[in-house]
Amino acid sequence: MITKWALAFGGLAGIVLVYRNWLHVNMATVALTLLLFILVLAARWGLRYAVVISIASTACYNFYFLPPVGTFTISDTENWLALLAFLTTAIIASRLSQAARNEANEASARQRELEMLFRLSRDLLQTESVASLLRSLPSAVVDVTAGRYGMLYLMEGQRAYEAGTHVVSKVELPHFHQLASTLSTASLEAEELLIPIRSGVRPKGLFLLRGVNLSVETANAIGGLISIAIDRAQALENVARGEAAKESERLRTLMIDSITHELRTPLTSIKGAATTLLASELGAEDRHELLSIIDEESDRLNRLVSEAVEMAQLDAQQVQIQFEIVAASKLITAARENCSWVEEKHSIVMEMQEELRLNVDPSLIEKVITNLLENAGKYSREGTQIKVTAEKQGEYVAISVADRGIGIDPAEQGLIFERFYRGRFNATGAPGTGMGLAISRAIVEAHGGRISVVSQPGQGSVFTVILPGAGPLES
Ligand code: ADP
Protein backbone atom coordinates (compact mmCIF):
# COMPACT_ATOMS: atom_id res chain seq x y z
CA MET A 1 0.00 0.00 0.00
CA ILE A 2 2.67 2.51 1.08
CA THR A 3 4.97 1.36 -1.72
CA LYS A 4 2.17 1.92 -4.22
CA TRP A 5 1.72 5.49 -3.00
CA ALA A 6 5.50 6.06 -3.08
CA LEU A 7 5.69 4.67 -6.59
CA ALA A 8 2.77 6.82 -7.78
CA PHE A 9 4.29 10.03 -6.41
CA GLY A 10 7.75 8.95 -7.58
CA GLY A 11 6.39 8.49 -11.11
CA LEU A 12 4.83 11.94 -11.07
CA ALA A 13 8.06 13.50 -9.78
CA GLY A 14 10.02 11.65 -12.49
CA ILE A 15 7.84 12.99 -15.31
CA VAL A 16 8.05 16.55 -13.97
CA LEU A 17 11.83 16.29 -13.53
CA VAL A 18 12.46 14.92 -17.01
CA TYR A 19 10.33 17.55 -18.76
CA ARG A 20 11.66 20.45 -16.59
CA ASN A 21 15.35 19.76 -16.80
CA TRP A 22 16.11 17.68 -19.84
CA LEU A 23 13.38 17.46 -22.45
CA HIS A 24 12.01 20.84 -23.35
CA VAL A 25 8.66 20.17 -25.03
CA ASN A 26 5.47 22.16 -25.30
CA MET A 27 2.85 22.23 -22.54
CA ALA A 28 0.37 20.00 -24.40
CA THR A 29 2.90 17.12 -24.51
CA VAL A 30 3.48 17.46 -20.76
CA ALA A 31 -0.30 17.43 -20.11
CA LEU A 32 -0.79 14.35 -22.32
CA THR A 33 2.05 12.46 -20.64
CA LEU A 34 0.59 13.17 -17.20
CA LEU A 35 -2.86 12.09 -18.43
CA LEU A 36 -1.43 8.85 -19.73
CA PHE A 37 0.28 8.21 -16.38
CA ILE A 38 -3.02 8.81 -14.52
CA LEU A 39 -4.88 6.43 -16.85
CA VAL A 40 -2.31 3.71 -16.23
CA LEU A 41 -2.71 4.21 -12.47
CA ALA A 42 -6.51 4.01 -12.72
CA ALA A 43 -6.37 0.85 -14.77
CA ARG A 44 -3.84 -0.89 -12.54
CA TRP A 45 -4.45 0.29 -9.00
CA GLY A 46 -7.89 1.87 -9.01
CA LEU A 47 -9.64 5.19 -8.76
CA ARG A 48 -8.21 6.30 -5.41
CA TYR A 49 -4.64 6.55 -6.71
CA ALA A 50 -5.77 8.16 -9.99
CA VAL A 51 -7.79 10.95 -8.30
CA VAL A 52 -5.06 11.87 -5.79
CA ILE A 53 -2.36 11.85 -8.49
CA SER A 54 -4.68 13.90 -10.81
CA ILE A 55 -4.88 16.65 -8.21
CA ALA A 56 -1.15 16.48 -7.49
CA SER A 57 -0.42 16.56 -11.26
CA THR A 58 -2.68 19.61 -11.72
CA ALA A 59 -0.73 21.40 -9.00
CA CYS A 60 2.67 20.42 -10.49
CA TYR A 61 1.54 21.32 -14.01
CA ASN A 62 0.47 24.73 -12.83
CA PHE A 63 3.62 25.32 -10.76
CA TYR A 64 6.28 24.07 -13.16
CA PHE A 65 4.81 24.52 -16.62
CA LEU A 66 2.04 27.16 -16.78
CA PRO A 67 3.33 30.76 -16.93
CA PRO A 68 4.28 32.40 -14.68
CA VAL A 69 6.45 29.36 -13.97
CA GLY A 70 7.46 28.77 -10.31
CA THR A 71 4.22 30.14 -8.85
CA PHE A 72 0.68 28.84 -8.35
CA THR A 73 -0.74 31.99 -9.91
CA ILE A 74 -2.14 31.78 -13.42
CA SER A 75 -2.04 34.93 -15.47
CA ASP A 76 -3.94 33.91 -18.57
CA THR A 77 -7.65 32.89 -18.44
CA GLU A 78 -6.92 30.52 -21.29
CA ASN A 79 -4.47 28.67 -19.03
CA TRP A 80 -7.11 28.46 -16.32
CA LEU A 81 -9.34 26.70 -18.81
CA ALA A 82 -6.50 24.38 -19.85
CA LEU A 83 -5.85 23.43 -16.22
CA LEU A 84 -9.54 22.79 -15.52
CA ALA A 85 -9.87 20.74 -18.70
CA PHE A 86 -6.82 18.71 -17.63
CA LEU A 87 -8.24 17.93 -14.18
CA THR A 88 -11.72 17.03 -15.51
CA THR A 89 -10.35 14.79 -18.27
CA ALA A 90 -8.04 13.05 -15.81
CA ILE A 91 -10.83 12.29 -13.35
CA ILE A 92 -13.43 11.21 -15.97
CA ALA A 93 -10.92 8.99 -17.74
CA SER A 94 -9.88 7.49 -14.43
CA ARG A 95 -13.48 6.68 -13.54
CA LEU A 96 -14.08 5.05 -16.91
CA SER A 97 -10.98 3.00 -16.60
CA GLN A 98 -11.95 1.99 -13.04
CA ALA A 99 -15.41 0.91 -14.25
CA ALA A 100 -13.84 -1.23 -16.98
CA ARG A 101 -11.53 -2.72 -14.39
CA ASN A 102 -14.40 -3.53 -12.04
CA GLU A 103 -16.31 -5.21 -14.83
CA ALA A 104 -13.31 -7.31 -15.81
CA ASN A 105 -12.83 -8.34 -12.15
CA GLU A 106 -16.46 -9.23 -11.83
CA ALA A 107 -16.43 -11.25 -15.03
CA SER A 108 -13.41 -13.23 -13.94
CA ALA A 109 -14.95 -13.79 -10.48
CA ARG A 110 -18.13 -15.08 -12.15
CA GLN A 111 -16.08 -17.33 -14.38
CA ARG A 112 -14.22 -18.68 -11.36
CA GLU A 113 -17.50 -19.35 -9.57
CA LEU A 114 -18.93 -21.06 -12.63
CA GLU A 115 -15.90 -23.30 -12.92
CA MET A 116 -16.23 -24.04 -9.23
CA LEU A 117 -19.88 -25.03 -9.58
CA PHE A 118 -19.01 -27.26 -12.49
CA ARG A 119 -16.27 -29.00 -10.52
CA LEU A 120 -18.56 -29.39 -7.52
CA SER A 121 -21.36 -30.88 -9.61
CA ARG A 122 -18.94 -33.36 -11.11
CA ASP A 123 -17.66 -34.36 -7.65
CA LEU A 124 -21.09 -34.65 -6.07
CA LEU A 125 -22.84 -36.50 -8.87
CA GLN A 126 -20.25 -39.27 -8.95
CA THR A 127 -21.14 -40.84 -5.60
CA GLU A 128 -24.02 -43.28 -5.62
CA SER A 129 -24.41 -44.22 -1.98
CA VAL A 130 -26.12 -41.75 0.33
CA ALA A 131 -23.89 -42.55 3.30
CA SER A 132 -20.62 -41.93 1.48
CA LEU A 133 -22.02 -38.86 -0.28
CA LEU A 134 -23.01 -37.26 3.03
CA ARG A 135 -19.59 -38.06 4.50
CA SER A 136 -17.62 -36.61 1.59
CA LEU A 137 -19.91 -33.69 0.74
CA PRO A 138 -18.67 -31.08 3.27
CA SER A 139 -15.03 -31.56 2.33
CA ALA A 140 -15.87 -31.48 -1.40
CA VAL A 141 -17.60 -28.11 -0.96
CA VAL A 142 -14.81 -26.74 1.26
CA ASP A 143 -12.13 -27.88 -1.22
CA VAL A 144 -13.83 -26.45 -4.26
CA THR A 145 -14.70 -23.10 -2.65
CA ALA A 146 -11.31 -22.90 -0.88
CA GLY A 147 -13.16 -22.33 2.38
CA ARG A 148 -12.01 -22.93 5.95
CA TYR A 149 -14.88 -24.94 7.38
CA GLY A 150 -18.03 -26.56 6.08
CA MET A 151 -20.95 -28.24 7.79
CA LEU A 152 -23.95 -29.96 6.29
CA TYR A 153 -26.94 -30.16 8.58
CA LEU A 154 -29.87 -32.39 7.68
CA MET A 155 -33.20 -31.87 9.42
CA GLU A 156 -34.14 -35.53 9.01
CA GLY A 157 -32.57 -37.27 11.99
CA GLN A 158 -30.87 -33.98 13.06
CA ARG A 159 -27.53 -35.04 11.61
CA ALA A 160 -24.46 -32.86 11.05
CA TYR A 161 -21.51 -33.70 8.76
CA GLU A 162 -18.40 -31.52 9.02
CA ALA A 163 -15.17 -30.72 7.26
CA GLY A 164 -12.73 -28.56 9.22
CA THR A 165 -11.84 -28.07 12.85
CA HIS A 166 -15.04 -26.81 14.47
CA VAL A 167 -16.97 -29.65 16.09
CA VAL A 168 -20.72 -29.28 16.24
CA SER A 169 -22.09 -30.10 19.68
CA LYS A 170 -25.51 -31.58 20.34
CA VAL A 171 -26.74 -28.31 21.88
CA GLU A 172 -26.25 -26.47 18.60
CA LEU A 173 -28.45 -28.84 16.60
CA PRO A 174 -31.86 -27.32 17.55
CA HIS A 175 -30.50 -23.92 16.54
CA PHE A 176 -29.53 -25.24 13.10
CA HIS A 177 -32.90 -26.96 12.86
CA GLN A 178 -34.67 -23.69 13.49
CA LEU A 179 -32.45 -21.86 11.00
CA ALA A 180 -32.92 -24.52 8.32
CA SER A 181 -36.69 -24.38 8.55
CA THR A 182 -36.81 -20.60 8.11
CA LEU A 183 -33.94 -19.85 5.73
CA SER A 184 -35.12 -19.36 2.16
CA THR A 185 -32.06 -17.87 0.48
CA ALA A 186 -28.32 -17.85 1.15
CA SER A 187 -27.22 -15.29 3.71
CA LEU A 188 -23.82 -13.98 4.68
CA GLU A 189 -23.32 -12.91 8.29
CA ALA A 190 -20.07 -12.20 10.06
CA GLU A 191 -17.93 -14.32 7.69
CA GLU A 192 -20.45 -17.14 7.84
CA LEU A 193 -22.33 -18.17 4.75
CA LEU A 194 -25.59 -20.02 5.40
CA ILE A 195 -27.03 -21.86 2.43
CA PRO A 196 -30.51 -23.42 2.57
CA ILE A 197 -30.87 -26.97 1.26
CA ARG A 198 -34.35 -27.59 -0.03
CA SER A 199 -36.13 -30.25 -1.97
CA GLY A 200 -38.54 -28.20 -4.09
CA VAL A 201 -40.08 -25.89 -1.50
CA ARG A 202 -39.61 -28.30 1.39
CA PRO A 203 -36.68 -27.32 3.64
CA LYS A 204 -34.27 -30.21 4.08
CA GLY A 205 -31.31 -28.71 5.90
CA LEU A 206 -28.57 -26.15 5.55
CA PHE A 207 -24.92 -25.80 4.66
CA LEU A 208 -22.68 -23.55 6.71
CA LEU A 209 -19.53 -22.33 5.02
CA ARG A 210 -16.77 -20.26 6.62
CA GLY A 211 -13.88 -18.33 5.07
CA VAL A 212 -15.22 -17.89 1.55
CA ASN A 213 -16.11 -14.96 -0.64
CA LEU A 214 -19.02 -15.99 -2.83
CA SER A 215 -21.95 -14.22 -4.43
CA VAL A 216 -25.42 -15.07 -3.11
CA GLU A 217 -26.39 -16.52 -6.51
CA THR A 218 -23.46 -18.94 -6.45
CA ALA A 219 -24.20 -19.88 -2.84
CA ASN A 220 -27.82 -20.66 -3.79
CA ALA A 221 -26.60 -22.67 -6.77
CA ILE A 222 -24.35 -24.69 -4.43
CA GLY A 223 -27.41 -25.33 -2.23
CA GLY A 224 -29.33 -26.55 -5.28
CA LEU A 225 -26.49 -28.85 -6.31
CA ILE A 226 -26.21 -30.38 -2.83
CA SER A 227 -29.93 -31.02 -2.73
CA ILE A 228 -29.95 -32.63 -6.20
CA ALA A 229 -26.95 -34.82 -5.34
CA ILE A 230 -28.63 -36.10 -2.14
CA ASP A 231 -31.96 -36.72 -3.92
CA ARG A 232 -30.18 -38.53 -6.74
CA ALA A 233 -28.21 -40.84 -4.42
CA GLN A 234 -31.37 -41.57 -2.45
CA ALA A 235 -33.31 -42.42 -5.61
CA LEU A 236 -30.51 -44.70 -6.84
CA GLU A 237 -30.41 -46.51 -3.51
CA ASN A 238 -34.17 -46.99 -3.54
CA VAL A 239 -34.01 -48.51 -7.00
CA ALA A 240 -31.20 -50.86 -5.94
CA ARG A 241 -33.07 -51.85 -2.79
CA GLY A 242 -36.24 -52.50 -4.79
CA GLU A 243 -34.33 -54.69 -7.22
CA ALA A 244 -32.66 -56.66 -4.42
CA ALA A 245 -36.03 -57.24 -2.76
CA LYS A 246 -37.50 -58.41 -6.06
CA GLU A 247 -34.56 -60.78 -6.63
CA SER A 248 -34.82 -62.22 -3.14
CA GLU A 249 -38.56 -62.72 -3.61
CA ARG A 250 -37.90 -64.48 -6.93
CA LEU A 251 -35.34 -66.78 -5.29
CA ARG A 252 -37.72 -67.59 -2.47
CA THR A 253 -40.50 -68.55 -4.88
CA LEU A 254 -38.07 -70.60 -6.95
CA MET A 255 -36.88 -72.36 -3.84
CA ILE A 256 -40.39 -73.19 -2.65
CA ASP A 257 -41.30 -74.47 -6.12
CA SER A 258 -38.23 -76.67 -6.29
CA ILE A 259 -38.59 -77.96 -2.76
CA THR A 260 -42.20 -78.99 -3.26
CA HIS A 261 -41.22 -80.68 -6.49
CA GLU A 262 -38.23 -82.45 -4.98
CA LEU A 263 -40.07 -83.52 -1.84
CA ARG A 264 -42.84 -85.10 -3.83
CA THR A 265 -40.66 -87.88 -5.31
CA PRO A 266 -39.42 -89.45 -2.04
CA LEU A 267 -42.80 -88.87 -0.41
CA THR A 268 -44.53 -90.73 -3.23
CA SER A 269 -42.13 -93.64 -2.88
CA ILE A 270 -42.57 -93.79 0.89
CA LYS A 271 -46.32 -93.56 0.60
CA GLY A 272 -46.40 -96.29 -2.09
CA ALA A 273 -44.20 -98.66 -0.08
CA ALA A 274 -46.16 -98.09 3.12
CA THR A 275 -49.50 -98.64 1.41
CA THR A 276 -48.31 -101.90 -0.15
CA LEU A 277 -46.93 -103.05 3.17
CA LEU A 278 -50.22 -102.41 4.91
CA ALA A 279 -52.50 -103.79 2.24
CA SER A 280 -50.97 -107.11 1.32
CA GLU A 281 -49.48 -110.17 2.86
CA LEU A 282 -45.86 -110.13 1.76
CA GLY A 283 -42.96 -112.46 2.15
CA ALA A 284 -40.04 -111.43 4.37
CA GLU A 285 -37.89 -110.52 1.38
CA ASP A 286 -40.48 -108.19 -0.17
CA ARG A 287 -41.18 -106.59 3.16
CA HIS A 288 -37.50 -105.98 3.64
CA GLU A 289 -37.21 -104.39 0.21
CA LEU A 290 -40.15 -102.06 0.80
CA LEU A 291 -38.83 -101.13 4.24
CA SER A 292 -35.43 -100.29 2.82
CA ILE A 293 -37.12 -98.07 0.22
CA ILE A 294 -38.86 -96.26 3.07
CA ASP A 295 -35.57 -96.03 4.94
CA GLU A 296 -33.60 -94.69 1.96
CA GLU A 297 -36.26 -92.28 0.81
CA SER A 298 -36.77 -90.82 4.27
CA ASP A 299 -33.00 -90.30 4.46
CA ARG A 300 -33.24 -88.48 1.15
CA LEU A 301 -36.12 -86.37 2.48
CA ASN A 302 -34.15 -85.57 5.57
CA ARG A 303 -31.13 -84.53 3.51
CA LEU A 304 -33.27 -82.44 1.19
CA VAL A 305 -34.90 -80.54 3.99
CA SER A 306 -31.66 -79.83 5.84
CA GLU A 307 -29.90 -78.77 2.63
CA ALA A 308 -32.80 -76.49 1.69
CA VAL A 309 -32.66 -74.91 5.13
CA GLU A 310 -28.89 -74.47 4.85
CA MET A 311 -29.23 -72.88 1.42
CA ALA A 312 -31.95 -70.53 2.67
CA GLN A 313 -29.69 -69.47 5.56
CA LEU A 314 -26.78 -68.87 3.21
CA ASP A 315 -29.08 -66.83 0.95
CA ALA A 316 -30.31 -64.74 3.84
CA GLN A 317 -26.69 -64.28 4.98
CA GLN A 318 -27.60 -65.77 8.34
CA VAL A 319 -24.56 -68.02 8.36
CA GLN A 320 -21.79 -66.43 10.38
CA ILE A 321 -18.39 -67.18 8.92
CA GLN A 322 -15.89 -67.82 11.73
CA PHE A 323 -12.56 -67.18 10.01
CA GLU A 324 -9.69 -69.21 11.41
CA ILE A 325 -6.19 -69.99 10.25
CA VAL A 326 -6.09 -73.67 9.44
CA ALA A 327 -3.79 -76.03 7.54
CA ALA A 328 -5.17 -77.17 4.17
CA SER A 329 -4.11 -80.78 4.86
CA LYS A 330 -6.12 -80.83 8.09
CA LEU A 331 -9.30 -79.84 6.26
CA ILE A 332 -8.73 -82.37 3.49
CA THR A 333 -8.08 -85.18 5.99
CA ALA A 334 -11.24 -84.29 7.92
CA ALA A 335 -13.25 -84.30 4.68
CA ARG A 336 -11.86 -87.73 3.75
CA GLU A 337 -12.94 -89.06 7.13
CA ASN A 338 -16.46 -87.70 6.56
CA CYS A 339 -16.90 -89.81 3.46
CA SER A 340 -15.08 -93.02 4.21
CA TRP A 341 -17.24 -94.90 1.70
CA VAL A 342 -15.42 -93.07 -1.12
CA GLU A 343 -12.12 -94.31 0.23
CA GLU A 344 -13.44 -97.86 0.20
CA LYS A 345 -14.18 -97.71 -3.53
CA HIS A 346 -11.44 -95.43 -4.80
CA SER A 347 -7.83 -94.66 -4.11
CA ILE A 348 -7.46 -91.06 -3.01
CA VAL A 349 -4.07 -89.43 -3.65
CA MET A 350 -3.03 -86.15 -2.07
CA GLU A 351 -0.55 -83.89 -3.81
CA MET A 352 0.85 -80.88 -2.03
CA GLN A 353 4.25 -79.23 -2.54
CA GLU A 354 4.26 -77.54 0.85
CA GLU A 355 1.93 -77.17 3.79
CA LEU A 356 -0.48 -74.36 3.02
CA ARG A 357 -2.56 -72.37 5.45
CA LEU A 358 -6.06 -71.09 4.80
CA ASN A 359 -7.99 -68.29 6.42
CA VAL A 360 -11.49 -69.78 6.34
CA ASP A 361 -14.30 -71.19 8.42
CA PRO A 362 -13.02 -74.79 8.84
CA SER A 363 -16.41 -76.45 9.35
CA LEU A 364 -17.92 -74.85 6.23
CA ILE A 365 -14.95 -75.51 3.95
CA GLU A 366 -14.71 -79.09 5.25
CA LYS A 367 -18.28 -79.49 4.02
CA VAL A 368 -17.35 -78.16 0.56
CA ILE A 369 -14.40 -80.57 0.19
CA THR A 370 -16.52 -83.46 1.47
CA ASN A 371 -19.14 -82.66 -1.16
CA LEU A 372 -16.53 -82.60 -3.93
CA LEU A 373 -15.04 -85.91 -2.78
CA GLU A 374 -18.51 -87.50 -2.58
CA ASN A 375 -19.38 -86.31 -6.07
CA ALA A 376 -16.06 -87.61 -7.41
CA GLY A 377 -16.91 -90.95 -5.79
CA LYS A 378 -20.51 -90.96 -7.02
CA TYR A 379 -19.80 -90.03 -10.59
CA SER A 380 -16.86 -92.31 -11.35
CA ARG A 381 -16.38 -96.03 -11.74
CA GLU A 382 -15.29 -98.05 -8.73
CA GLY A 383 -11.53 -98.50 -8.53
CA THR A 384 -10.63 -95.26 -10.35
CA GLN A 385 -8.32 -92.78 -8.76
CA ILE A 386 -9.30 -89.46 -7.16
CA LYS A 387 -6.58 -86.86 -6.82
CA VAL A 388 -6.67 -83.98 -4.36
CA THR A 389 -4.17 -81.15 -4.86
CA ALA A 390 -3.51 -77.90 -3.04
CA GLU A 391 -1.34 -75.15 -4.41
CA LYS A 392 -0.58 -71.52 -3.74
CA GLN A 393 -2.01 -68.88 -6.09
CA GLY A 394 -0.70 -65.54 -4.86
CA GLU A 395 -2.59 -64.67 -1.72
CA TYR A 396 -4.97 -67.55 -2.35
CA VAL A 397 -4.86 -71.33 -2.12
CA ALA A 398 -6.42 -73.50 -4.82
CA ILE A 399 -7.72 -76.92 -3.78
CA SER A 400 -8.68 -79.26 -6.63
CA VAL A 401 -10.48 -82.60 -6.64
CA ALA A 402 -9.93 -84.52 -9.87
CA ASP A 403 -11.68 -87.74 -10.85
CA ARG A 404 -11.57 -90.04 -13.84
CA GLY A 405 -15.32 -90.43 -13.96
CA ILE A 406 -18.14 -89.83 -16.39
CA GLY A 407 -17.39 -86.12 -16.82
CA ILE A 408 -19.90 -83.36 -17.43
CA ASP A 409 -21.40 -82.31 -20.73
CA PRO A 410 -20.17 -78.79 -21.68
CA ALA A 411 -23.79 -77.61 -21.88
CA GLU A 412 -24.29 -78.59 -18.27
CA GLN A 413 -21.10 -77.24 -16.77
CA GLY A 414 -22.65 -73.85 -16.07
CA LEU A 415 -25.84 -75.35 -14.67
CA ILE A 416 -24.56 -77.81 -12.10
CA PHE A 417 -23.92 -75.03 -9.56
CA GLU A 418 -27.60 -74.05 -9.66
CA ARG A 419 -29.76 -75.29 -6.83
CA PHE A 420 -31.61 -78.58 -7.44
CA TYR A 421 -29.93 -79.10 -10.79
CA ARG A 422 -29.02 -82.74 -11.32
CA GLY A 423 -27.14 -83.96 -14.35
CA ARG A 424 -29.44 -85.12 -17.10
CA PHE A 425 -26.93 -87.15 -19.01
CA ASN A 426 -25.57 -89.23 -16.16
CA ALA A 427 -26.95 -92.66 -16.08
CA THR A 428 -25.31 -93.59 -12.81
CA GLY A 429 -28.50 -93.34 -10.79
CA ALA A 430 -26.40 -91.95 -7.96
CA PRO A 431 -28.46 -90.59 -5.08
CA GLY A 432 -28.44 -86.86 -4.58
CA THR A 433 -30.47 -83.71 -4.23
CA GLY A 434 -28.80 -81.33 -6.68
CA MET A 435 -28.05 -78.97 -3.80
CA GLY A 436 -24.46 -79.95 -2.98
CA LEU A 437 -22.70 -77.73 -5.51
CA ALA A 438 -25.11 -74.81 -4.99
CA ILE A 439 -24.35 -74.85 -1.27
CA SER A 440 -20.63 -75.23 -1.95
CA ARG A 441 -20.65 -72.23 -4.27
CA ALA A 442 -22.55 -70.08 -1.74
CA ILE A 443 -20.03 -71.02 0.99
CA VAL A 444 -16.97 -70.39 -1.17
CA GLU A 445 -18.29 -67.05 -2.43
CA ALA A 446 -19.14 -65.97 1.11
CA HIS A 447 -15.39 -66.42 1.81
CA GLY A 448 -14.51 -64.20 -1.14
CA GLY A 449 -13.38 -67.23 -3.14
CA ARG A 450 -14.41 -69.00 -6.35
CA ILE A 451 -15.41 -72.50 -7.41
CA SER A 452 -15.09 -73.78 -10.97
CA VAL A 453 -15.01 -76.96 -12.99
CA VAL A 454 -13.06 -78.25 -15.96
CA SER A 455 -14.45 -81.45 -17.39
CA GLN A 456 -14.54 -83.69 -20.41
CA PRO A 457 -17.31 -86.24 -20.82
CA GLY A 458 -15.94 -89.74 -20.50
CA GLN A 459 -12.57 -88.50 -19.24
CA GLY A 460 -13.26 -86.98 -15.85
CA SER A 461 -13.73 -83.70 -14.02
CA VAL A 462 -11.59 -81.35 -11.99
CA PHE A 463 -13.37 -79.14 -9.46
CA THR A 464 -11.27 -76.30 -8.06
CA VAL A 465 -12.00 -74.02 -5.12
CA ILE A 466 -9.93 -70.90 -4.62
CA LEU A 467 -9.87 -69.70 -1.02
CA PRO A 468 -8.10 -66.98 0.95
CA GLY A 469 -4.67 -68.16 2.14
CA ALA A 470 -2.84 -67.16 5.29
CA GLY A 471 0.85 -67.32 4.41
CA PRO A 472 3.24 -70.20 5.05
CA LEU A 473 2.99 -72.31 8.18
CA GLU A 474 5.50 -71.18 10.80
CA SER A 475 7.97 -73.86 11.71
P1 ADP B 1 -26.03 -84.07 -6.54
O2 ADP B 1 -24.69 -84.71 -6.58
O3 ADP B 1 -26.74 -84.25 -5.29
O4 ADP B 1 -26.85 -84.36 -7.74
P5 ADP B 1 -24.57 -81.59 -6.82
O6 ADP B 1 -25.04 -80.19 -6.71
O7 ADP B 1 -23.46 -82.01 -5.93
O8 ADP B 1 -25.84 -82.48 -6.61
O9 ADP B 1 -24.17 -81.84 -8.32
C10 ADP B 1 -25.02 -81.44 -9.36
C11 ADP B 1 -24.77 -82.26 -10.60
O12 ADP B 1 -23.48 -82.02 -11.11
C13 ADP B 1 -24.84 -83.72 -10.38
O14 ADP B 1 -26.17 -84.21 -10.47
C15 ADP B 1 -23.96 -84.29 -11.49
O16 ADP B 1 -24.68 -84.40 -12.69
C17 ADP B 1 -22.94 -83.19 -11.71
N18 ADP B 1 -21.66 -83.51 -11.07
C19 ADP B 1 -21.20 -83.07 -9.90
N20 ADP B 1 -19.97 -83.54 -9.63
C21 ADP B 1 -19.63 -84.32 -10.66
C22 ADP B 1 -18.46 -85.10 -11.00
N23 ADP B 1 -17.41 -85.16 -10.19
N24 ADP B 1 -18.48 -85.75 -12.17
C25 ADP B 1 -19.53 -85.71 -12.98
N26 ADP B 1 -20.65 -85.00 -12.75
C27 ADP B 1 -20.71 -84.32 -11.61
CA angle, residues 363, 322, 249, in degrees to nearest 5: 90
Distance of CA 462 from the midpoint of ligand 1 (Å) = 12
460 lines ligand 1 (CB under 6 A): no
373 lines ligand 1 (CB under 6 A): no
Separation between Cα atoms, residue 32 and residue 12, nearest integer Å: 13
Pairing of strands 356-360, 460-472: antiparallel
pTM of the model: 0.51
Nearest-atom number in ligand 1 for the CA of 431 is 3
432 lines ligand 1 (CB under 6 A): yes
377 lines ligand 1 (CB under 6 A): no
**Given this model, what pLDDT does residue 474 score?**
45
**Given this model, what pLDDT does residue 403 score?**
96
**Given this model, what pLDDT does residue 473 score?**
44
405 lines ligand 1 (CB under 6 A): yes
DSSP codes, 365-401? HHHHHHHHHHHHHHTS-TT-EEEEEEEEETTEEEEEE
Q: Which of 379, 384, 454 to mutate to test the pocket of ligand 1 (most atoms within 8 A of CB)?
A: 379
Pairing of strands 347-352, 385-393: parallel
Nearest-atom number in ligand 1 for the CA of 403 is 23
347 phi and psi angles, rounded to 5 deg: -95, 125
**Residues of the chain falling short of pLDDT 70:** 166, 424-429, 471-475
Q: Residue 145 contacts by C-beta under 8 Å, 6 or more apart in sequence?
A: 116, 120, 209, 212, 214, 222
Distance of CA 384 from the midpoint of ligand 1 (Å) = 17
Distance of CA 427 from the midpoint of ligand 1 (Å) = 12
422 lines ligand 1 (CB under 6 A): yes
Separation between Cα atoms, residue 388 and residue 376, nearest integer Å: 11
Distance of CA 329 from the midpoint of ligand 1 (Å) = 24
Distance of CA 254 from the midpoint of ligand 1 (Å) = 20
**Given this model, what pLDDT does residue 240 score?**
84
CB count within 10 Å of CB 206 equals 25
Nearest-atom number in ligand 1 for the CA of 419 is 6
